[in-house]
Amino acid sequence: MNPRIYITRPVGKETVEMLAARCNVTCREQDLPLPPAELANALRDMDGLMLAGARLPGEVVAQASYLRAVSSVGVGYDNLDLAACTARRIPVTNTVGAVEETTADLAFALLLAVARRLPECDRYVREGHWRYWQWTLLWGADVYGKTLGLYGFGNIGQAVARRARGFNMRILYYSRRRVPETVEAALNAQRVDRGTLLAESDFLSLHMPLTPETRHSIGAAELARMKPSAYLINTARGQVVDEEALAEGLQQHAIAGAGLDVFEQEPHVHPTLLTLPNVVLAPHVGSGTAETRARMARVAAQNLLDLLDGKRPKTLLNPEVFDQKARV
């Protein structure tokens, strides 16, 4: 019998057909949040799961007795209980390599938008306020030649650094591990300690994964160490920033502005952030382009097929499941 698989979002005909050639596919038609109880119900007799835009809590894993492969669509995997999957020897993959450049594009778009006050400029024109040219109109901040601080320097952080080189920016990074010297040299990036990163960045862009250690990496104390002229960009995860402290800091002009694609309690946004003109907001669309979503779906589908065939995909998140010679 073909393996039975469940897809949590309408990821596109091409992907469904790719999987349907070898599996019995159930693809959820609604592009809406999936409550855990509904996911548990849907997974009752499923062998595989393609997890897009949904959470997979441990209790759902526990109830999915047949589940033997999880392919997560996206890079961050804080939405799933990896330990619960590993305990049941269920291999889990993500889509490393499929989203980085597009997410870096959005980080840079937010950086430019907040520096040059693009949403304000747009409103100004649309609302009919533009009557004549003015010397002092809507002044922003220069990006060219400024210092970019990258908090986290994995694939996305490095992709942002590549963009920043074209803007002749000085690139600093902070991460637990130093990247190879060849990478530093190619990007002209210098590893610094956290305090230096906070104090010297004109733009601080966050690219760390969300883990218990990175939660609230930016709070009141960190904002106080930043330049009052600095901007914070977050395309990582909302919880790496203390949103209350950020709202307060922006109100008190601790920093000059923020560009945010992610929030602590999505889709809820701190009400103060909604009122501040120096904040550019986006609804978690870092990987939201047609090409990238298609690539993510394709990579995730291939990962799922590989897992169901007992092959070891490159983007395995819990290799110990394979190392134990578990076969799916």
For ligand 8YV, which is the closer residue by CB, 12 or 76? 76
* Residue 240 within binding range of ligand 8YV, rule CB under 6 A: no
| Sole binder of ligand 8YV in the list 10, 53, 97, 140 (CB under 6 A) | 53
Q: Is 287 in the site for ligand 8YV (CB under 6 A)?
A: yes
From the number of C-beta atoms within 10 Å of its C-beta (0-12, 13-18, 19+), residue 221 rates as exposed
Please identify, using beta-carbon distances, which residue of 233 and 254 lies nearer to ligand 8YV. Answer: 233
Determine which residue in the list 3, 48, 74, 157 makes contact with ligand 8YV, applying CB under 6 A. Answer: 74
For residue 52, how far is the Cα from the chain centroid?
13
**Do 29 and 47 contact (CB within 8 A), yes or no?**
no
Gap between the Cα atoms of 236 and 255, Å rounded: 19
CB nearer to ligand 8YV: give 52 or 246.
52
> Is 266 marked active-site?
yes
Q: Using the CB atoms, write b or e for 282-291: b if 16+ within 10 Å.
A: bebebbebee
Closest CA to 75 of 320, 291, 318, 315: 315
Residue 154, interface with ligand 8YV (CB under 6 A)? no
Asked if 174 and 193 count as a contact pair (C-beta separation under 8 A), the reply is yes
Would residue 170 show up in a list of annotated catalytic residues for this protein?
A: no
Asked if 209 is part of the footprint of ligand 8YV (rule: CB under 6 A), the reply reads no
Fill in the DSSP letter of residue 99: S
Question: In whole angstroms, how close is the CB of 7 to ligand 8YV at the nearest point?
Answer: 12
User: Which of 299, 308, 328, 263 has its CA nearest to residue 73?
Assistant: 299
How would you list the strands of the sheet with 231-234, edge to edge? 189-191, 170-174, 147-151, 203-206, 231-234, 257-260, 279-281
Catalytic residue among 266, 295, 298, 312: 266
Only segment of 74-82, 108-116, 215-223, 273-281 that touches ligand 8YV (CB under 6 A): 74-82
- Catalytic residue at 22? no
Among 27, 61, 73, 210, binds ligand 8YV (CB under 6 A): 73
Q: How far apart are CA 7 and CA 303, in angstroms?
A: 13
Which of these ranges, 59-67, 70-78, 161-169, 249-257, lies near ligand 8YV under the rule CB under 6 A? 70-78
Tell whether residue 152 is a contact of ligand 8YV (CB under 6 A). no
- Output 53 or 219, the one with its CB closest to ligand 8YV: 53
Contact 79, 55 (CB under 8 A): yes
Q: Is the peptide bond before 267 cis (omega within 30 degrees of 0)?
A: yes
Give the residue with the Cβ less far from ligand 8YV, 201 or 292.
292
**Catalytic residue, candidates 117, 163, 207, 237:** 237
- Residue 12 makes contact with ligand 8YV by CB under 6 A: no
Helical (H) or strand (E) element with 42:
helix 36-42
With binding defined as CB under 6 A, does residue 52 bind ligand 8YV? yes
| Identified catalytic residue from 191, 284, 295, 312 | 284
Buried-state track 14-31, b at ≥16 Cβ within 10 A, e below 16: ebbebbeeebbbebbeee
Does position 25 bind ligand 8YV by CB under 6 A? no
Determine, following the binding rule CB under 6 A, whether residue 219 of this chain makes contact with ligand 8YV.
no
Binding-site size, ligand 8YV (CB under 6 A): 9
**Which residues are at the interface with ligand 8YV (CB under 6 A)?**
52-53, 73-76, 99, 286-287
Instruction: Write out the catalytic residue numbers.
Output: 237, 266, 284
